[in-house]
Amino acid sequence: MQLAPGVHRVRPDSIVNSYLLEEGDEVTIIDAGAPGLWKQLPAELAAMGRTLDDVRAIVLTHGHSDHIGYAERGRRERGWPVMVHEADEALAKGEVKNPAKSPKLRIGPMLGFAWWSAWHGLLRVPPLTAVATYGDGATLDLPGSPRVILVPGHTPGSAALHVPIHDVVFVGDAMATYSPADGLRGPQVAAFSADYELARTSLARLEGLAAALVLPGHGDAFAGGIDEAVRLAREARLPE
């Protein structure tokens, strides 16, 4: 599904997102969602006029399994490098426990998420056996030239990826527009964060970016610009 010129989401629903970012005739994948999205990938690339051969790398916004998704498969079968912030390297490799704190739950949305997760292979995501790392402030030498902004709180190494040439920012779970825990929609601090207060404080790092379209790990794109998204997320309830 095209969200902006050169920016696609791998499937039409937005519960767990994986994005394709195009520059020239090459593609960077931002987050690999769930293992089950692998089979959707060729069709979404075809919708951009691209194939698996045009993909240069997978960049993860953080080390949670619902962002690692099909990344290990892409690394093994296609040789794609996979990158994550250095502070989330151990998490992405399954070497440390997920630091997430349980949010308040509502049974309906959680059952929906559990069903989606089972259906798309999220209950058994292979951890990465090798991952490259990036640091805060880096501009990655990949299609789209994403620039890294560390926004800790959801995880220690949570990063947003700013792509000025497309006027978008991929925020990972620094901010969500849908909560699988309680069903709330709109910009908000994401559920299953390690430190909800720190996540809210870190939103200040995103203010003032030139980014009309905000692309979260969970939920629909927000087209009102990053500053408005941050304002709304600060006002929304914290998930705990």
Q: Smallest gap, in angstroms, from Cβ of residue 23 to Zn ion?
A: 26
Of 189 and 209, the one with the shorter C-beta distance to Zn ion is: 189
The answer for residues whose C-beta is within 8 angstroms of residue 235's C-beta and 6 or more apart is none
Between 94 and 164, name the residue whose CB sits nearer to Zn ion.
94
Least distance between Zn ion and beta carbon 48 (Å):
26
Tokens of 225: 């610009």
For the chain, the first-to-last Cα distance in angstroms comes to 32
Kindly state the smallest distance separating residue 128's Cβ from Zn ion, in Å: 15
Half-sphere exposure of 4 (CA within 13 A, CB side): 22
Q: In a 10 Å sphere around its CB, with 0-12 CB exposed, 13-18 middle and 19+ buried, how is residue 111 labelled?
A: exposed
Nearest distance in Å: CB 164, Zn ion: 25
Residue whose CB is less far from Zn ion, 168 or 176: 176
**Do 148 and 159 meet the contact criterion of CB atoms below 8 Å apart?**
yes
Task: Check if the beta carbon of residue 13 is closer than 8 Å to that of residue 219.
Answer: no
Half-sphere exposure of 182 (CA within 13 A, CB side): 17
Backbone φ, ψ for residue 169 (5° rounding) = -135, 130
Q: Which is nearer to Zn ion, 3 or 176 (CB)?
A: 176
Site for Zn ion, rule CB under 5 A: 64, 173
Closer CB to Zn ion, 72 or 173, in the complex: 173
What is the closest distance, in whole angstroms, from the C-beta atom of residue 142 to Zn ion in the complex? 22
In terms of CB distance, is 173 or 195 closer to Zn ion? Answer: 173
Minimum CB distance to Zn ion, residue 135 (Å): 20
